[in-house]
Amino acid sequence: MNTDRPIKICVIGGGFGGLYTALYFSRFDLVKNRKCQVTLIEPNDHFLFTPLLYELLTGELQRWEIAPSYSKLLQGTQIQLRQQTVKTIDLKARCVGLMNDETLSYDYLVLAVGTQNRWANIPGLKDYALTFRSLADLERLQTQLHILENSERQHLKVAVIGGGPNGVELSCKIADRLGSRGQVYLIERGDALLKNFSKAIGKASYKALKARRIAIHHDCDVEKITADSLRITEQQQAQDLPIDLVIWTAGTQSREWLSELDCQQTDQGKLLVHPTLQLLDYPEVLALGDIAQMASTRQNIPATAQAAFQQASCAAKNLKAMIKRNRPKPFFYLHLGDMLTLGKRSAIISSFSINIDGRIADISRRFIYILRLPTQRHKTQVLKHWVKNTLIKLGRWLRWQKQQLFAEKPAKPY
């Protein structure tokens, strides 16, 4: 390695794994003293705090709060942003090829690109179903819901396919947005929703779904989707459901170009890494998030933002250790609990056997997520805005309570 030039670190992916790794690492003196040059490669111009994406559907949050631009987040840092899509990676030559035909060399590489939607082989699925993972997905869904809400239809029917957290949270939000005019169907191929979550999460979720009249279909296979119907098979009985909108949340898969990398992978296309997050054959490459799997560990690391958030801190510290010729440390996942939004102004938090649901859980969940926003500047702006709105709503509620308390009571008959 040529010590006369800055050490080049490429971080691919601007989500929880990639962006947070770059931000954590940029705080070290190695970057401040310009001994290291950090380049973040990300095709989008805005970061997305995905756990709060649902709140945009119901107007509980504004877009700027959970989707700040990378230029804003990286302001004041020495991180260079390349708003490009990766075309190829040559691990042996240590270079990254971009779609604009630019080639970037690196000394250390961080892979944190996340997964993409996995489409099942269902006739009509790609033609008629929407997804919900990005800002572009949100905009398409908002447009379709707006069209339906402004139509003359009295009853609006929406089907959400997939009984994981994405499907459950989305179903509750849509049901609250459409109100009595909407009917939401939640379709799950397995025999239960939220299989990998605690009993408290499952119980609160079923309660929230039932309160919103969401029709749950277990052990249900989707056979065909058309512009206005959904054919399902349930208990060996086929039926056609009239549907206005279908949303697919039932699976993800690795990106195609990852399978072309010359490194060891699982049958599902995940990159095999040591507990230190280093690729088995390329110690200068770290992989984290839901594209990586540890080769020799019993740790059960979920494909969640919480896990990627923790891995980012470990990755930044291990980069520093490797550059300083120290031994990188293994990553240990600490499960802090689970949080799901269950409709407008309602949520469930389950952490260390303590369970909170309802409005208090919603406020707590929002506060916890605000504290996990990428930069202190943006975090402070969102927190101030949130506290201000909360105080305004509290003031309105107190005035209403006062009006009720001092409302004129009917005179007693004598």
Full DSSP string of 71-120:
HHHTTTS-PEEE---EEEEETTTTEEEETTS-EEE-SEEEE----EE---
Phi, psi of 277 (to 5 degrees): 75, 10
Binned at pLDDT 50, 70 and 90, residue 301 comes out as: confident
Both tokens of 250, joined, read: 């039932």
pTM of the model as a whole: 0.91
Which tokens go with 193?
A: 């929703």
From the CB of residue 236, how many other CB atoms can be counted at a distance below 10 Å? 6
Strands (E) across 274-394 are located at 285-287, 292-294, 338-341, 347-351, 354-358
**Considering Cα of 369, then 340, then 173, then 239, what sign does the dihedral take?**
positive
Q: Are 345 and 60 in contact (CB under 8 A)?
A: yes
Taking a C-beta distance cutoff of 8 angstroms, is the pair 168, 214 a contact? no
Q: Which whole number is the average pLDDT over 222-239?
A: 94
Distance CA 62, CA 137 (A): 16
- Cα separation, 341 vs 349, whole angstroms: 9
Token pair of 204, please?
């609160």
Spatial distance between the Cα atoms of 162 and 171, rounded to a whole number of angstroms:
10
**CATH architecture assigned to 119-250:** 3-Layer(bba) Sandwich (3.50)
**End-to-end Cα distance, the chain:** 99
Phi, psi of 26, deg, nearest 5:
-65, -15
CATH 3.50.50.60 in the chain is located at: 7-115+254-335, 119-250
**pLDDT attached to residue 414:** 43
The per-residue pLDDT for 334 is 94
Mean pLDDT, all residues of the chain:
93
pLDDT score for 94: 98
**CATH match of 7-115+254-335 with 3.50.50.60:** yes
Instruction: Give CA–CA dist 127/361, Å, rounded.
Output: 38
Q: What digits encode the pLDDT tens for the residues 338-372? A: 999 999 999 999 999 999 999 999 999 999 999 99
* Sheet with 103-105: strands ordered across: 86-90, 95-98, 103-105
Structure tokens at 394: 């509290």
Among 196, 218, 176, residue whose Cα is nearest residue 59? 176
Task: Give me the pLDDT at residue 393, please.
Answer: 79
